Every structure is written in C-alpha cells, then in structure tokens.
Chain A
Amino acid sequence: MSFTIAHTVDEALAAMAAGARAIAGGTDLVVGARHGKAALPGNLVAIDRLTELKSVTTTKDGVSIGALVTHHDIEMHPLLSTSYAGLADGSALVGSPSTRHIGTLGGNIMNASPAMDTGAPLAVMRAEIELRSVRGSRRVPIEELWTAPGKTSAQPDELCVAIHIPAPATRSNSAYVRLEYRRAMEIAVVGAAAFVALNDDGTIAALRVGLTAVSPTIFTGDLVGQIGRSVSDAAENAAKVSMEQATPISDVRASDSYRRHTVGVMARRAVEAAARRAAGETIAIPVNRAIGIGAAS
C-alpha cells in the first residue's frame, strides 16, 4: 500500500514496474473508485508533476502531444485548435472547466471508454500512442490500443507518454461532433469524427470516419469508396455506412435504435464540418456549439 509522487518519468516507470498504477488528474480513477466501479488501486504513483510530459512539440512528421497535456491546453492551443481541429472539438466538450483543467489526454485515451470524446478524432487522424516501461518504448496505432470497454493492449507497467499525430496534408482537416442532451457535464450519447482531404476541384481525396459510443471500442472506417465524390454525396454515404456499422447498446442514455439513427446524423455533420475546414473555413471550437447541437443552443 503506497502513494508516491514521481518527479521524473524514470521514477514513474520504476514504480509501475513494482506494481503501481499511474494517476494524473484522477478524473476517471478517483471518480470511478468513489462510484464503486473499481476500487482505488492500493499502489499509486502520481505522475501529474512530470513536466516533461506536458508539452506539445511540432516534429517533421506532425505533432507530438505529451500525455499530461490537458483538455484545456488542447482547446486553447493555436496549432491543435486549427490544424488538428477535431481533437480540440473533442477536448472542448469533456466534462466541465475543472475536468478539462486537470483531465489529461493520456488519461482519457488509457481509460478506453467507448464514449470518450478524444478517441474518434485521434483515430481518424491516425494517431499513434507511445507507451514506455522500464523494458523500453513502443508505438501503437491508437485503434490497436483499445481492446474492449475500459481495456487496452498496454501492459500494466507501460505508461502512455505521448500521442503522435501525422501532419495533415494541405486541404485537409477534421471535426468531431456529438449528440448531447445538455451542454455541460455531459457524456456523448453518440459522436462522430471525420477527417477529410479535398482535391483541388473540391471533391473528396480521402475520408475517414470515427464513431463514438456505438460499439465496444471507437469504430473507425476508411471510406475509400468516396474518393472523387462531392462532399455532399460523401457526407450522405458516410451517414449510411455509420448507421450500418454501428452496433450500439440500449442504456439509460438512449436506445440502440435511436443511437443507430443519430450516429448517422452526427457522421454527416462531422464530414460537412471537416470539409468546410479543409477548404479553409474557420469553424470555432467546438463544432458542436458552432452548428447548434445541444439543448440550450
């Protein structure tokens, strides 16, 4: 039984090798323990002071986001909120201002909720997750990280240290929208992200769609059949494919049939918003508010 505060990544990795579980903002771990969802682990190592995991770095391949970068940081970041706009759309919708200030991107990803708001945008942008342990470091495509609700392919001693996103090509961008019943402290009923690249004539050069809260893990599809089509045709087809591919459950938040219908609507709106951004238009973060989704809009 122990609680330690790590001051370097190596200290954190050593503690994890000895069986400790990492805690950053605690917005899932502590809240979950208080709900009785999962007991608080007996051995915890606090990683929230590891400044080396708090930066956003531009690389030759794209951008590297430290695992401890918060949702608030992402929402406000000049590069992430423009070139990687779908991620900022997602982060801006998480919880409340307090959740967004202490909740981290790494924590959101490793919590592996199928309803997470950052998962679908990261998946359509083909993000890779860097996991590190005392045994070494490896990169995992984000879709291979999630294996089931709350489960990842990471080993217990592996710490998520960074999220790497490839640079978007010219005339491409992303968007994330979700269905919500209220505008704060909400969890996605369903959500959809889209990554759109446009040809010079405005037709689709690439289209990927990611779906939130309609399958055990975030669903992503590369819609190669839409290449060369108009944005409006591709948006309608993305809606159709999303409704076909969704395997939603019924719960207190929505029925399966309602989720299946609305995820199509969200997919169409995500494609349209991503295409407008890809064409150079600025749509404020988050798209949800800009296009009027949400009860009080």
Chain B
Amino acid sequence: MSQAFESQSFNLNVNGVDYPVNVEMDRNLLSVIRTEIGLTGTKEGCDDCECGACMVLLDGQPVNSCSYLAVQAQGRAITTIEGVMTGDEMHPLQRNILEEGGVQCGFCTPGMILSAHALLERNAAPSEEEVRIGLSGNLCRCTGYTKIVAAVQRTAVELRS
C-alpha cells in the first residue's frame, strides 16, 4: 500500500503572482499548476520526464514539472506559458512559431516555447545546432521540428535588433 503523504500549505509564485496552495508533499508541480492554480497551458504528455510538454521555468531554468515536487518549488519564481505574454501581446516566440508554421496540434508548443525562452536568455545568437540541442528535451510528433527551429532562430534575430 502506498504511503499517505501529509499536506503542506505554502505559496507558489507563478508568473509573478503568489498562489496559496495546500498539497501533499508527493504532488508534482504540474498537477498543482493545472488543478489547484488552474493554469492549463502547461501540458501533461508522457508524465515520465521524457517529452517536455510539461516544461516550466524555475528561476528562469527549464524544468520538467511532471517530475518536480511542488513543495520544492516554494520560494522560487515559476514561469508558465501564460506568463510569457506582455498584456495581450504575444511573445515574439509565440508569434513566430505560429507564423513559421511550427504549430500543428499544439500540444508540445508551450514546452517548446519555454525551452526556447530559456535558451535565448543564455545564448542570444544560437546556431541551428545550438537551437536543436536547446530543444532536445521537447518532443513534437507533428512538425518535424524544422519550422520550430526556424521560428526560434527568427526570434533570436528579432530580439537582437
């Protein structure tokens, strides 16, 4: 029989807002973001730390939220796909991935954008190879990746100018 884990109350800072939550210590960050906080842009894909659909940023670094304990994220700044927009204006990565045709079913897109976001924060002018490595923890079953890579490279050029 599995152990029952006790609950803890704490704040989770998601996209700059503190959300009080009360969750068991074995709850993953993904389910708390989606179910307790109600932000459903972050997706559950493999639920096994392989596909990257659940990617969020933790203090700016990409993390697979399906396999990260929510309790361990307290005191850290979490960014989800809902947090990359400025008001009603899409982030250049969002706009370019749409314009380049890098979105088909869309399920991998939030994770792709967050991995790309973290990459561009640490490397403003990545080569195609560096983009592919930066996105290597994110699986896409539709696009064949080429248009996603193009969108990231186009964004890098835009953000530098």
Contact = CB atoms under 8 A, between A and B. Distances in A.
Contacts of A136: none
B8 interface: yes
A44 B6 CA distance: 12
B133 interface: yes
Contacts of B6: 1-2
A292 interface: no
Contacts of A26: 67-69, 72
B161 interface: no
Interface residues of A, number: 29
B25 interface: yes
Nearest to B136: A184
Nearest to B111: A98
A182 to B, nearest CB: 9
Main secondary structure of the interface of A (DSSP, over half): mixed
Interface in A22-39: 23, 26-27, 30-31, 33-35, 39
A98 B52 contact: yes
Contacts of B55: 98
Interface in A1-47: 1-3, 5, 23, 26-27, 30-31, 33-35, 39-40, 42, 44, 46
B92 interface: no
A101 interface: yes
A21 to B, nearest CB: 12
Interface in B117-132: 118-119
B5 to A, nearest CB: 6
Contact of A44 (B25, B118, B119): B25
B2 A102 contact: no
B69 A30 contact: yes
A150 B44 CA distance: 29
Interface in B57-104: 58, 61-64, 66-69, 71-72, 74-75
B134 interface: yes
A102 B8 contact: no
Interface residues of B, number: 36
A261 interface: no
Contacts of B69: 3, 23, 26, 30, 44
Contacts of A99: 49, 64, 137
A185 interface: yes
A30 B71 CA distance: 12
Given A27-B49, A96-B137, A185-B50, A101 B67 contact: no
B49 to A, nearest CB: 5
A1 B119 CA distance: 38
Contact of B47 (A34, A183, A185): A34
Given A26-B69, A44-B25, A97 B115 contact: yes
A97 B28 CA distance: 20
A124 B50 CA distance: 30
B35 interface: no
A156 B138 CA distance: 35
A97 B49 contact: no
17 contacts: A1-B25, A3-B25, A5-B75, A34-B47, A40-B3, A46-B72, A97-B137, A98-B55, A98-B62, A98-B115, A101-B61, A101-B63, A102-B61, A102-B63, A183-B136, A185-B50, A185-B137
Closest 7 CB pairs of A and B: A96-B137, A184-B136, A98-B62, A3-B25, A101-B61, A1-B6, A31-B67
